[in-house]
């Protein structure tokens, strides 16, 4: 009986890894749609987000079932509670990918990102995609060192966000209000994807060690 119980616990993390890989694909496709003005690709990201939502529901059902039937304590309770929070963050990352895709779709047949700010947005997208890929590995391996490294690398995204604002506020900005709103939103979407990746990595650290690095950083 206990072996089956722990198999269920492991299965939840396997499911989280699978959802994360779906999110990774969604972020990549949304960026591709954004940079090419491909409305069909944007629609694909939007329509396939329902699969991430359904997968999140399955993880929640499994987690709540274990909580009610097994009444876990200590490390097992920590694992289930962390998993329920992680799946919510993964779903939100999928939603943010949809927001990127919707910006792309809104500006078709034009491309939402002006040429002179394209390098910054492309770099933000690259960093976000890399962080999603790495947090997927962290979820699957529960590698604490990799999780800690991911949190430290979020500084690159923060720097890119500041650069994006500088470009928007520059006297040389000539693309109008709509483009400025698009770039501000896109910067926020990619930044939040990275923030969620860091938060998930911190939750993995909490599951493995019992210590919350975010809480320790605030002390």
Residue 218: pLDDT band (50, 70, 90) is very low
**112 neighbors 124 (Cβ within 8 angstroms):** no
CATH number at residue 142: 1.20.58.220
178: its two tokens: 């709509």
**How many whole angstroms separate alpha carbon 155 and alpha carbon 31?**
21
Angle between helix axes 118-141 and 176-209 (nearest 10 degrees) is: 20
120: its two tokens: 């910054």
Other CB atoms within a 10 A radius of the CB of residue 60 amount to 16
- Provide the domain count of the chain: 1
Q: Provide the residue range defining the domain that includes 136.
A: 2-218
- Tens-place pLDDT, residues 52-87: 999 999 999 998 888 887 776 677 888 889 999 999
pLDDT at 6: 67
**Nearest alpha-carbon partner for 109 in 48, 182, 33, 44:** 33
Residue identified by tokens 């909490």 is 206
Q: Does the structure show a pLDDT above 90 at 7?
A: no
121: its two tokens: 């947005």
**Nearest alpha-carbon partner for 14 in 69, 62, 68, 70:** 62
- Tens-place pLDDT, residues 141-182: 999 999 999 987 788 999 999 999 999 888 889 999 999 999
* 3-state class (DSSP) for residue 78: helix
**Nearest alpha-carbon partner for 94 in 32, 42, 51, 35:** 51
pLDDT at 216: 47
Chain centre distance of CA 84: 15
Q: Does the structure show a pLDDT above 60 at 219?
A: no
Longest dimension (CA), the chain: 68
- Tens-place pLDDT, residues 80-132: 899 999 999 999 999 999 999 999 999 999 999 999 999 999 999 999 999 99
pLDDT at 210: 86
**Nearest alpha-carbon partner for 132 in 10, 6, 58, 27:** 27
pLDDT at 55: 95
pLDDT at 4: 64
Burial of 101 (0-12, 13-18, 19+ CB in 10 A): buried
**213 neighbors 148 (Cβ within 8 angstroms):** yes
Q: If you average pLDDT over residues 176-201, what whole number do you get?
A: 96
- Report if pTM > 0.75: yes
């Amino acid at each position: 009986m206990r072996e089956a119980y722990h198999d269920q616990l492991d299965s939840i993390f396997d499911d989280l890894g699978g959802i994360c890989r779906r999110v990774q694909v969604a972020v990549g496709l949304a960026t591709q749609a954004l940079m090419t003005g491909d409305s069909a690709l944007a629609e694909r990201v939007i329509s396939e987000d329902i699969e991430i939502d359904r997968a999140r529901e399955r993880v929640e059902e499994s987690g709540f079932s274990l909580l009610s039937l097994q009444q876990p304590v200590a490390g097992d309770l920590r694992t289930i509670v962390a998993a329920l929070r992680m799946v919510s963050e993964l779903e939100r990352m999928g939603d943010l990918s949809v927001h990127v895709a919707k910006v792309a779709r809104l500006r078709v047949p034009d491309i939402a990102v002006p040429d002179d700010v394209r390098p910054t947005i492309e770099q933000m997208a690259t960093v976000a995609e890399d962080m999603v890929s790495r947090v997927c590995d962290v979820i699957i391996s529960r590698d604490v060192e990799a999780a800690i490294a991911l949190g430290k690398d979020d500084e690159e995204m923060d720097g890119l966000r500041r650069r994006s604002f500088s470009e928007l506020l520059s006297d040389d900005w000539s693309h109008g209000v709509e483009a400025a709103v698009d770039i501000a939103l896109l910067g926020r979407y990619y930044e939040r994807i990275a923030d969620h990746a860091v938060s998930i990595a911190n939750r993995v650290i909490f599951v493995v060690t019992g210590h919350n690095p975010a809480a320790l950083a605030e002390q």
